[in-house]
């Protein structure tokens, strides 16, 4: 039987399957459907300092090969996550979890990461730098190597747990951003976040989403995500969590061959809430077909 375990910065996962932040909540809803302890881990809902209702509605638009969302980081805030969500999460998930942290200033990132770092159940802190920097005209932290490095350095100064920087694909050079994060002390890289997209209602002649544009995710973005994971693997020497359009076990193997040590499943959770257990069940069978004895051996295999 194939060994499908993998490792992220010393954290051993039973398998590489991790539901992505924003598509799995805090785990409780999915725990009603299946035992979520079969997962390698999961990245919980993006958390900010203050509670956020999110963007105006409508904020979801369907596409043929995916979806566009402009939810706007709706979350209960760091205090409620620590005092309410994490204790409730412990009732349904016994493994270390990935804490996804977002922010609109360097100080906010630093504050939230310092708080969540003290929580025993958190194994990895995933820092979403696709947020707009309110002190720099709204440009996302992740679009500038200097800004990405500034957030990384600030977060690392107040944390002891592994920090993975989650990168935006909406940049001219994803490798420059990844290298900047590594140089500033990042323990790993998560990529990619959503692409920027939009839909127009041709009967109203107006954008479907209230914010006009939003994050495009789903199967259509998989080749783009795979390409970026491949490029970043060649540019840095820290682990990568790959994501973007992954929807089957074959996609997981591709991502790992491109350089990912683990793989997050995002939009697919929303179309099929059982997609993660299905992939976990299929992985050993696929590995047998491909004559893979140890899944972690294929990480970066496509680089020759």
Active site residues: 131
Q: How far is CA 41 from CA 144, 227, 258, in A?
A: 30, 24, 21
Helix (H) or strand (E) holding 98: strand 97-101
User: What are residue 18's DSSP bridge partners?
Assistant: 264
- Token pair 């893979």 is at which residue? 292
Give start and end residues of each alpha helix (H) in 8-94: 28-31, 78-80, 86-90
CB 240 within 8 A of CB 191: yes
Backbone φ and ψ for 196, nearest 5 degrees, come out as -85, 125
Alpha carbon distances (Å) from 71 to 7, 48, 67, 176, 210: 31, 14, 12, 28, 10
By the 8 A CB rule, do 126 and 166 touch?
Answer: yes
> Of the candidates 20, 3, 283, 15, which has an alpha carbon nearest to the alpha carbon of residue 164?
20
Rounded-to-10 torsion of CA 123, 77, 74, 175 = -40
Q: Give helix then strand counts, H and E, for the chain.
A: 10, 15
Element (H, E) at 150: helix 145-156
Give yes or no for a contact between 133 and 175, defined as CB atoms under 8 angstroms apart.
no
């Amino acid at each position: 039987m194939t060994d499908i375990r993998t490792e992220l910065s010393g954290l051993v996962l039973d398998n590489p399957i991790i539901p992505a932040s924003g598509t799995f909540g805090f785990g409780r809803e999915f725990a009603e459907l299946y035992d979520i302890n079969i997962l390698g881990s999961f990245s919980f809902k993006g958390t900010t300092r203050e509670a956020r209702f999110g963007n105006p509605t409508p904020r979801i638009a369907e596409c043929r090969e995916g979806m566009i969302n402009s939810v706007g980081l709706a979350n209960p805030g760091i205090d409620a996550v620590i005092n309410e969500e994490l204790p409730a999460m412990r009732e349904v998930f016994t493994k270390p979890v990935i804490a996804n942290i977002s922010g609109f200033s360097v100080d906010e990132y630093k504050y939230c990461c310092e708080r969540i770092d003290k929580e025993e159940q958190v194994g990895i802190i995933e820092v979403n730098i696709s947020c707009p920097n309110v002190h720099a005209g709204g440009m996302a932290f992740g679009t500038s190597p200097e800004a990405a490095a500034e957030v990384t350095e600030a977060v690392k100064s107040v944390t002891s747990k592994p920090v993975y920087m989650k990168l935006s694909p909406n940049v001219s050079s994803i490798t420059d951003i990844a290298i900047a994060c590594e140089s500033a002390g990042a323990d790993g890289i998560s990529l990619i976040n959503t692409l920027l997209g939009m839909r127009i209602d041709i009967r109203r002649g107006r954008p479907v989403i209230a914010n006009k544009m939003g994050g495009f995710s789903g199967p259509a973005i998989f080749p783009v995500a795979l390409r970026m994971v491949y490029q970043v693997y060649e540019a840095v020497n820290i682990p990568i969590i790959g994501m973007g359009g992954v929807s089957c076990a074959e996609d997981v193997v591709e991502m790992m061959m491109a350089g990912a040590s683990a793989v997050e499943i995002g939009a697919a959770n929303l179309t099929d809430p059982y997609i993660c257990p299905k992939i976990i069940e299929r992985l050993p069978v696929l590995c047998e077909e491909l004559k893979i004895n140890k899944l972690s051996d294929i990480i970066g295999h496509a680089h020759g």
